């Protein structure tokens, strides 16, 4: 069915068996062998589908590294995964030490001194700022990364939706090992949209609508005062409990942000153009 309907699948896998050891089934047993075996079945039975529709997401953690992850996926599947860090959303304060022992910063691992060219060095050293400029113009101008982005923006052209939260099911769904259905892999499991088991899929769309109306009511007083309200990078699930948005921006801060982005483009536009033509950022970042 997945192949027939041309469904795109993002598989969470953190590298080899050791790298992936934090990913376990509901019963506590490691998932790696079964997941890798199932991927191999798809690769052998549906090679073209595997090539075009299967992608991977890797969470960088204390059990893996960029080099190990890159080597595993290129050797095993000839693919480069998307990268993310362990989410800090809804972090239990009593678990901060445990979180710190698992967490690893992605960008701290880049070997800037041995970059292949001055252009690559420029992009990597300033990658966070470069991403911010890119996001700014994607959010403020009619630029789209995919068809769903175009449709979503066209459908909501004159509607303000608080925060930068993706509408449910507009981009992806995430199914946990226990069968919970979530908007994506970065959201706390407490915000489940439904559930799936061997016999049925439970999704109550009226209830989902009510939940989101309530979520937006909670955060609207924050968003209404923010000068980034039309270019918000934050998912509401990152701050709905604390009611303190990490990206909240007042007028003075927004003026400085605008100046900084325009200045950066003017200063580095030639180098950035050359870099984008000559290199591909390593490890899918």
Please tell me the distance from the alpha carbon of residue 87 to that of residue 89, in angstroms, as a whole number.
5
Q: Are 56 and 39 in contact (CB under 8 A)?
A: no
Please tell me the distance from the alpha carbon of residue 35 to that of residue 28, in angstroms, as a whole number.
15
Please tell me the distance from the alpha carbon of residue 54 to that of residue 51, in angstroms, as a whole number.
6
pLDDT above 70 covers what percent of the chain?
Answer: 74
> Parallel, antiparallel, or unpaired for β 54-60 and 9-12?
parallel
Look at residue 227 and tell me whether its pLDDT is greater than 50.
yes
Confidence of residue 231 (pLDDT cuts 50, 70, 90): confident
Look at residue 282 and tell me whether its pLDDT is greater than 70.
no
Tokens for 183, please give them: 């908007």
Answer positive or negative: Cα dihedral of 144, 147, 149, 151: positive
Give residue 112's pLDDT: 54
Please tell me the distance from the alpha carbon of residue 237 to that of residue 212, in angstroms, as a whole number.
11
Which residue from 43, 41, 18 is spatially nearest to 30, judged by alpha carbons?
A: 18
Look at residue 142 and tell me whether its pLDDT is greater than 60.
no
Q: Are 189 and 237 in contact (CB under 8 A)?
A: no
Angle at the Cα of 32 from the Cα atoms of 31 and 33, rounded to 5 degrees: 100
Mean per-residue pLDDT for 35-53?
Answer: 96
Which one-letter DSSP state was computed for residue 107? G
Tokens for 88, please give them: 């800090």
Angle at the Cα of 195 from the Cα atoms of 54 and 164, rounded to 5 degrees: 65
Confidence of residue 241 (pLDDT cuts 50, 70, 90): confident
Give residue 220's pLDDT: 93
Helices (H), the chain: 32-45, 47-53, 66-76, 96-102, 118-125, 127-140, 147-155, 205-223, 251-278
Give residue 87's pLDDT: 80
Give residue 281's pLDDT: 45
Give residue 236's pLDDT: 92
Give residue 171's pLDDT: 81
Highest mean pLDDT among 32-41, 173-182, 255-264: 32-41
Mean per-residue pLDDT for 44-65?
Answer: 94
Look at residue 40 and tell me whether its pLDDT is greater than 80.
yes
Look at residue 19 and tell me whether its pLDDT is greater than 60.
yes
Look at residue 75 and tell me whether its pLDDT is greater than 70.
yes
Tokens for 205, please give them: 């769309």
pLDDT above 90 covers what percent of the chain?
Answer: 42
Mean per-residue pLDDT for 142-146?
Answer: 52
Reported as a single tens digit per residue, the pLDDT across 168-219 is 888 888 888 788 999 988 888 889 999 998 889 999 999 999 999 999 999 9
89 or 238: which carries more pLDDT confidence?
Answer: 238
Give residue 16's pLDDT: 96
Average pLDDT taken over every residue of the chain: 81
**Where do the domains of the chain lie?**
1-87, 110-168+205-285
């Amino acid at each position: 069915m997945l192949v027939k309907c041309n469904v795109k699948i993002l598989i969470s896998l953190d590298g080899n068996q050791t790298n992936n050891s934090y990913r376990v089934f509901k019963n506590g047993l490691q998932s790696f062998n079964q997941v890798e075996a199932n991927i191999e079945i798809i690769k052998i039975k549906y090679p073209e589908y595997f090539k075009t529709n299967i992608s991977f997401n890797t969470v960088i953690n204390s059990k893996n590294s960029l080099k190990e992850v890159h080597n595993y996926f290129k050797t095993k599947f000839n693919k480069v995964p998307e990268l993310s860090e362990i989410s800090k959303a809804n972090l239990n304060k009593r678990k901060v030490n445990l979180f710190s022992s698992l967490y690893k910063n992605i960008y701290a691992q880049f070997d800037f001194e041995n970059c292949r060219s001055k252009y690559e060095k420029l992009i990597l050293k300033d990658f966070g700022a470069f991403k911010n400029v890119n996001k700014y113009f994607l959010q403020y101008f009619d630029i789209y990364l995919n068809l769903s982005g175009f449709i979503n923006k066209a459908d909501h052209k004159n509607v303000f939706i608080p925060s930068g939260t993706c509408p449910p099911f507009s981009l992806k769904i995430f199914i946990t090992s226990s069968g919970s259905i979530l908007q994506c892999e970065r959201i706390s499991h407490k915000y489940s949209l439904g559930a799936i088991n061997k016999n049925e899929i439970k999704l109550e769309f009226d209830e989902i609508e009510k939940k989101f109306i309530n979520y937006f009511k909670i955060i609207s007083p924050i968003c209404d005062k923010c000068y980034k309200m039309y270019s918000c990078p934050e998912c509401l699930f990152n701050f709905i409990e604390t009611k303190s948005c990490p990206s909240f921006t007042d007028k003075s801060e927004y003026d400085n942000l605008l100046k900084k982005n325009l200045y950066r483009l003017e200063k580095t536009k030639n180098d950035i153009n050359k870099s984008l033509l000559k290199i591909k950022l390593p490890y899918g970042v």
